[in-house]
Structure 1
Amino acid sequence: MSAALQGTVVLNGHFAHEFPELSIAWTGEPTPEPTLLVLNTRLASELGLDVDFLRSAEGLGLLTGTTVPEGATPVAQGYAGHQFGSYSPRLGDGRALLMGELRGPDGTLHDLHLKGSGRTPFSRGGDGRAAMGPMLREYLVSEAMNALGIPTTRALAVVATGTTIRRDTPLPGAVLARVASSHLRVGSFQYARAHGDVDLLRRLADHAIARLHPGAATAEHPYRALFDAVVAAQAQLVAQWMLVGFVHGVMNTDNMTISGETIDYGPCAFMDGFDPAALYSSIDAEGRYAYRNQPVIAEWNLARFAEALLPLLDDDEDQAVEVAMSSLGSFRDQYSSAWSAGMRGKLGLVAADVGAPEANTVVDDVIALLQQHGVDYTSFFRRLGAAARGNNSPVRSLFADTAAYDAWAAGWTALGPDADLMDRTNPAYIPRNHLVEEALAAATAGDMEPFGELLDAVTDPYRERPGLERHAAGAPEDFGPYRTYCGT
């Protein structure tokens, strides 16, 4: 079933009707005074959505889940998951709705999904609402990730609801509307497996293949090919996180997508000073999801995905386990290759005549250098582009011990780094934590200007512009330890 929005775009409920076992029909809670805070007009146009309609009362109803287009079937999706290593057989969208699927002008399907739209049957005691700050954070960071070329859900809009929600203090409520290739997660397959319904598991896998990894359909063993495709996508994704210094913060299995897109920007942050143990989540007491652990956790999550898929990999369980282990064994090599290639790009070392041993040594040594001196990660690589052109002063100024930098730089310079490549690879602007907090505090108080300025910088991250110098600078010394919260 479908519904036309302004007679141009179709919103269908394919997932809702195909998988009633994994969804519960639901609508958003009333919003007494919906106010559009930010609208991604470029994304709306790419999706074929009428911007004027989205700004209208009916459009705001769609963006908050309170107005359901005729024929659409909004649902709360059910899924399971390992949260901080502990398995929960029934999680699901406790404050979110899948409004339906949009088919863009190019024929590509996208989920339209809301976050903060109110309680659902999966809320588990929560209020189902979201505060304005965390929703604006997800908008800001997900759009920054997209601009960096990292697969991610996209933010379409944030709408203030006119309600006050209770956290540690009263906060203004808001709903985030986001789009993705799909909201299928490892936890979706865990949920199907937990129900012991192999037919449901097979239908879900077929849906994932058709929607996300169509090449697997023609493989000799389609379900193994699906698993291989997800392993490859996640190896690439996590390598990209590591290369830009991004720390997700909550890598539970219900936050790992089958599409290979980054999802759920809760207690996330970008590193300031390089620190492998960087951790920003207020609830991660053991550091399970620290920066350095992200590749290991991704592999662990994929092992849980493999466990869910076992009945589809082979009728004989022992053989299915062998198949899964063989495929999972490729993750480390794929991740390492992606990370190494990316790091060489950051250092400008991709010329055909660059010897592998020398380049590998330079890469290994730069990580040790950054760790030893706690140098600002983003600033170091961006300023290194000037050093490749012969101006070492900007990057040397980051080091109290310039001799250590000079010793490393001598070997790096000898390899002939490509400065133009470095400028295209290393961003000048990321969502720096102190600026994010400044922008969110101002927005919560009614001033969206700092948010807009920061959003403008991070969505065009490689082009340095006058007037944005503070957006390229590291955190002030008095910023202190940074902690973020999941917002529930």
Structure 2
Amino acid sequence: MNLEHHFASLGEAFSSKTLIQPLFEQRLVEFNQALASFLSIDIKSSTTKRILNGEETLSASVSMVYAGHQFGGFSPQLGDGRGVLLGEVKGADGFLYDLHMKGAGPTPYSRRGDGRAVLRSCIREYLASEAMAALSVPSSRALALYDSREAVYRETPEAGAMLLRVAKGHIRFGHFEYFFSQGKQAELDQLIEYCLKHYYPECLAADSPLQSMLVEVVKRTARMIAKWQSVGFQHGVMNTDNFSFTGETIDYGPYGFMEDYEPDWVCNHSDHEGRYAFSRQPGVGLWNLNCLMRCFSKHLERDQLISILQCYEAELQSHYDVLMMKKMGLSKAQNVRDLLPTILTLLAKEKMDYTVFFRLLSHLEVDGFTVLLDEVVDRDSLSHWFDRYQTTRLSEGLVWSKVSHDMLLVNPKFILRNYLAHDAIQAAEQGDYLPFRRLLNVLNQPYSEHPESELLAQRAPEWGRSLEVSCSS
């Protein structure tokens, strides 16, 4: 494992030296071999094992310091309270990727916490990040999962665990907020140059490299959130310290994949005011970007910053239109805008499963509508919508068999339903990782039929609809 240490070289103003502190009787229980091969990491190497187990000291492993707006309130200093950036490794595409261990023990930013993670949260993050990657949503990835016999105390004692995560970068909006709020201009400039060099080198040739980079950050964020909305994903904690400067989904805590369609659905039991409800995610993304832009108020004029932010809505809407055109099997954005609001209103009224609806729609032939009618009470409204939909598809001159094939490639059969994660976690806590691996297998190939795993595509049973997820998850 050829580790490089570019972020650590920025100096102690940006991070603190931190080592992995091994858990009691920890063991490697899952390893992402495909991702490891992409990163040229050999898990069988004794040196690699010692590094990841915390048995070999890395002189440049660090925990990062940053700030952030949390539920709208500004926290001037946060940081990796339970994470260690081991360094960067080069992928097969020639780009560098961070290796970051979650649950590695106390850091200078733990704020009196134990710096640990529990098996429950590590499994949830492993499953979510891999599911998102398979759905083509920019995301951190899971490389390795460790369990242990060490008790970690939350509401009750739980099994301690560690998760090795991979991302293009772990720099957050909150990194820039930290240095800007403290008036540390030299460090802010240093961070800007670092990001230009390592994440946005194509912007260096622009007349204004910073402005060019920020436009790209805005657009990446917009495209990421458009994809969240299209697959029915809710992040749960869209704080600025949880937003990646490289446009990846990071920090999976109380997330959720929508089942029954509810525009104002809140997956996080701790979000009492619904600040991060599903329908509010696009607006929160813009709010977070506005916080980020303030950090560059001494580098760019106000009009320039406003112009950068104005890229957001158009990018999000156009990308969402493209995604929903594919989901609906249509070729014109205006047709999506005409048809989508009506069917989403009906889905909400009928409390119909979002994923199931689009999967069933993908299977439709010209005269095969009965299966969808059987899913609703208001058959007349759905029939009227389908007549419009059918007329629209025919007017576009599309071949239905080809359209159905293409729709099945973008409308998943399998999503990470909360009750499935719950079942996998309960089994793993008893030492049985087979349900976790079975679930991971279908999430890695969510568009395939997997007839042997048909149960994993079913809606949640009644008990599974009331499960709560909070920040402690």
TM-score range, shorter chain: over 0.9
Q: Does 1:444 align with 2:444?
A: no
Structure 1 residues 230 and 357 mapped into 2: Cα distance closer, same or farther (>3 Å)? closer
When the two chains are superposed, the root-mean-square deviation of aligned CA atoms in Å is 1.5
Q: State the identity %.
A: 37
Q: Does 1:329 align with 2:347?
A: no
CA contact (8 A) 1:253 1:301 kept: yes
CA contact (8 A) 1:389 1:419 kept: no
Q: Distance in 1 between matches of 2:411 and 2:53?
A: 36
Q: Which moved more, 1:204-213 or 1:434-443?
A: 204-213
The offset of 1:357, in angstroms, is 4.2
Q: Distance in 2 between matches of 1:236 and 1:184?
A: 18
Q: Distance in 2 between matches of 1:196 and 1:221?
A: 23
Structure 2: gaps (5+ residues): 394-399
Q: Which moved more, 1:190-199 or 1:148-157?
A: 190-199
Aligned to 2:396: none
Aligned to 2:417: 432
Aligned to 2:99: 112
Deviation per CA, 1:369-419: give whole Å up to 9, x if none: 212211100000011011245422332222122222111111111122621
Q: How does 1:20-419 map to 2 (within 5 A)?
A: 20-53=12-45, 58-69=47-58, 72-313=59-300, 320-350=301-331, 354=332, 357-388=334-365, 390-416=367-393, 418-419=403-404
Aligned to 2:406: 421
TM-score, length of structure 1 as denominator length:
0.92
TM-score, length of structure 2 as denominator length:
0.95
Deviation per CA, 1:58-95: give whole Å up to 9, x if none: 544423444335xx410010000000011011000000
CA contact (8 A) 1:12 1:73 kept: no
CA contact (8 A) 2:23 2:150 kept: yes
CA contact (8 A) 1:252 1:301 kept: yes
Q: Which runs of at least 4 in structure 1 moved beyond 4 Å after TM superposition?
A: none
CA contact (8 A) 1:79 1:187 kept: yes
Q: Distance in 2 between matches of 1:188 and 1:65?
A: 26
- One-letter amino acid of the counterpart of residue 29, structure 1: Q
- One-letter amino acid of the counterpart of residue 77, structure 1: M
CA contact (8 A) 2:427 2:433 kept: yes
The offset of 1:51, in angstroms, is 2.8
- One-letter amino acid of the counterpart of residue 173, structure 1: G
Q: Distance in 2 between matches of 1:179 and 1:103?
A: 11
Q: Which moved more, 1:29-38 or 1:457-466?
A: 29-38
Q: Distance in 2 between matches of 1:379 and 1:337?
A: 25
CA contact (8 A) 2:122 2:162 kept: yes
Q: What is the count of residue pairs matched by the alignment?
A: 465
Structure 1: gaps (5+ residues): 314-319
Q: Distance in 1 between matches of 2:467 and 2:208?
A: 46
Q: Does 1:469 align with 2:454?
A: yes
CA contact (8 A) 2:324 2:336 kept: no
